[in-house]
Amino acid sequence: MKKWLLVSISLLLMFAAVGCSKSESVNSDGKKTITMWVHISDENEEGKVYKKRVEAFNKNYAPDNIKAKIEFIPRSGNGGGYEDKVNAALTTSTLPDVITLDGPNTAAYAKSGVIAPLDEYVKDQEDLLPSIKQQGTYKDKLYAIGVSESSVGIYYNKRMLQEAGVDLNTLPTVDNPWTWDQFLALCKTLKDKYDKPAIDMQLQSKDEMLTYALTPFVWSADGDIISKDGKKAEGVFNKKPTVEALTFIQTMLKEGYTTRTPVKQAFETEKYPMKFSGVWTVTDMKTNYQKVDYGVIPYPVSPKTKKLVSPSGSWQFAMTQTSENKEWAAKLVDWMTNKDSNVELSRTIAALPVRYSSEKVMAKEFSDQMNVFLKQLKETGHARPVTPAYPQVTRAFQQTIDDISFYDQNKDIQKVLDTHAKEMQSAIDKAN
Partner 1 sequence: MSKIGWKENRSVYTFLRPEERTKNKTRWKENVVAYTFLGPALLLLSMFLVIPSIMSVYYSFTDYYLLTPDMRKFVGLDNFINLFQDPIFLKSLVNTLEFVVWVIPLQIGAALGLALLLNKQRKANTFFKVAYFSPVVMSLVVISVLWLYLLNPNEGIINNVLTYFGISAQPFLTSPKQAIFTIVVVSAWQGAGFQMLIFLAGLQNIPGDVYEAAQLDGINKWQRFMYITLPLLKPTSIFIFITTLIGAFKLLVQPMVMTQGGPVNSTMTVVYYIYQTGFTDRMVGYASSIALLFGTIIGLVTITQRKLVKEDED
Nearest approach, Cβ of 2 to partner 1 (angstroms)? 13
Neighbouring C-beta atoms of residue 27, cutoff 10 Å: 12
Could you tell me the smallest distance in angstroms from the CB atom of residue 333 to partner 1? 19
Smallest gap from residue 52 Cβ to partner 1 (A): 31
User: What gap in Å lies between CA 350 and CA 157, rounded to an integer?
Assistant: 21
- For partner 1, the closer of residues 134 and 392 by Cβ is 392
Minimum gap (Å) between residue 167 Cβ and partner 1? 32
- The distance of closest approach from Cβ of residue 225 to partner 1 in the complex, given in angstroms and rounded to an integer, is 17
Q: What angle do CA 382, 384, 385 make, to 5 degrees?
A: 120
Instruction: Report the SS3 class of residue 12.
Output: helix
Nearer residue to partner 1 within complex by CB, 17 or 175: 17
Question: What's the closest the beta carbon of residue 258 comes to partner 1, in angstroms?
Answer: 14
Burial class (CB in 10 A: 0-12, 13-18, 19+), 230: buried
Of the pair 130, 391, the CB lying nearest partner 1 is at 391
Q: Which CB sits closer to partner 1, 117 or 262? A: 262
Q: Which is nearer to partner 1, 151 or 392 (CB)?
A: 392
Q: Which residues bind partner 1 (CB under 8 A)?
A: 3, 7-8, 11, 80, 84, 87, 90-91, 108-109, 112-114, 204, 206-207, 260-264, 391-392, 395, 399, 402-403, 406, 409, 427, 430
Residue 57: helix, strand or coil by DSSP? Answer: helix
| Cα–Cα distance measured from residue 46 to residue 99, given in angstroms and rounded to the nearest whole number | 16
Q: How far is the CB of 262 from partner 1 (least distance, A)?
A: 8
Report the alpha-carbon distance of residue 243 to residue 21 in Å, rounded: 54
Query: Quick one: 59 or 264, whose CB is closer to partner 1?
Result: 264
Give whichever of 111 and 375 is closer to partner 1, judged by the CB atom. Answer: 111
Kindly tell me which of 226 and 343 has the beta carbon lying closer to partner 1: 226
278 sits in which H/E element:
strand 274-278
Provide, rounded to whole angstroms, the least separation between the CB of residue 108 and partner 1.
6
Sequence-ordered list of residues with C-beta below 8 angstroms from that of 242, at least 6 positions apart, any chain: 218, 221, 223, 417
Here the contacts of 259-264 (C-beta below 8 Å, separation 24 or greater) are: 259/197, 259/200, 259/203, 260/203, 260/204, 260/405, 261/204, 262/197, 262/200, 262/202, 262/204
- Least Å distance, CB 129 to partner 1, is 27
Residue type, 125: Q
User: What is the smallest separation between the CB atom of 405 and partner 1, expressed in angstroms?
Assistant: 8
Answer for the pair 75, 83: CB distance below 8 angstroms, yes or no: yes
Cβ proximity to partner 1, 20 vs 263, nearer residue = 263
Pick the closer one to partner 1 by CB: 148 or 392. 392
Please give the backbone phi and psi of residue 178, each rounded to the nearest 5 degrees, phi first.
-90, 155
Strands of the sheet with 66-72, listed across from one edge = 66-72, 32-38, 98-102, 315-319, 145-146
DSSP string, 67-101: EEEEEE----TTSTTHHHHHHHHHHTT---SEEEE
